[in-house]
Structure 1
Amino acid sequence: MESSSNEFLRGTLKTIVLKMLAERGRMYGYEITQSVKERTQGQIALTFGALYPVLHKLEQEGMLLTESEEVDGRLRKYYSLTPQGTETAERKVSEFERFVEAMRSLLKPQPKLTVGH
């Protein structure tokens, strides 16, 4: 994604992660990045440097549970939502949808008002 879009992404990372986990149940970091990339046709590419701090913060806030599992001789950390995380995901997605609708209203071309003399 273009660098100017990074500021939009920063403000929505938590919502994106919560939404992905709400839909998929349990995911590991790389799986989250690939799923976001696929669903946005490459328009949003999460870096691990951006993703993992968000995952750790959500875990500290009690939104995520983690499980480590050995896969092909390597330890893989899976994330899933707690009940609080599920509620927060629903709320944040709803708030973001309202924000997007408000932005659409702002960005729609408006007819110019003519001032009578």
Structure 2
Amino acid sequence: MASNSMLKGSLQTIILKLLEDNSEMYGYEITQKVKELSDGELLLTEGALYPALHKLEADGFLETYTQVVDNRVRKYYRLTKEGGKEVRNKLKEAQAFIDQLQVLLNLRSTTK
């Protein structure tokens, strides 16, 4: 299981990628999708999720709208045009970091 600090460092990337793959999602749906895709190994708390969503929205990468579902107001998030570009940037950054981490920890051969 990944530690909370490792998840926190990649949370924005995870959110952006999920929204790219799913068009739009609401908060609880995001937490459940992370849990599902990680076979329960990663548990995303509201205390971590919502500040990340608000930051991404403030940075112009997400837009929101609300909808009433079963007499409850649900806030949906989706990527802006800039958010779509940011997904690519974040994924490139993540892959470069993973590659360097693998080299540093000798998890793969450094010869190709």
What TM-score results when the alignment is normalised by the length of structure 1? 0.87
1:8 & 1:56 partners in 2: Cα distance?
Answer: 20
The aligned residue for residue 92 of structure 1 is 90
Query: Whole-Å Cα distance in 1 between the matches of residues 82 and 62 of structure 2?
Result: 9
Residue 35 of structure 1: which of 19, 33, 36 is its match? Answer: 33
Q: How does 1:1-117 map to 2 (within 5 A)?
A: 1=1, 5-108=3-106
Provide closer, same or farther for how the CA distance between residues 73 and 109 of structure 1 changes in structure 2, counting only shifts above 3 A: closer
State the one-letter code of the partner of 1:92: K
Corresponding letter in the other structure for 2:36: E
CA RMSD of superposed structures (Å): 1.5
> Residue 91 of structure 2 aligns to a residue in which SS?
helix
- The runs of 5 or more residues in structure 2 that have no matched partner are none
In structure 2, the residue matched to 1:115 is none
2:53 partner SS: helix
Q: After superposition, what is the alpha-carbon deviation per residue over 1:63-92, rounded to whole angstroms, capped at 9, x for unaligned?
A: 101010010011000000000001001110
Please give the secondary structure, in 2, of the residue aligned with 1:11. Answer: helix
User: Residues 103 and 82 of structure 1: is their aligned pair in 2 closer, same or farther, counting only changes over 3 Å?
Assistant: same
Q: Rg larger in 1 or in 2? A: 1
Alpha-carbon distance in structure 2 between the residues aligned to 1:27 and 1:109: 35
Q: How many residues matched?
A: 108
User: Counterpart of 1:12 in 2: which secondary structure?
Assistant: helix
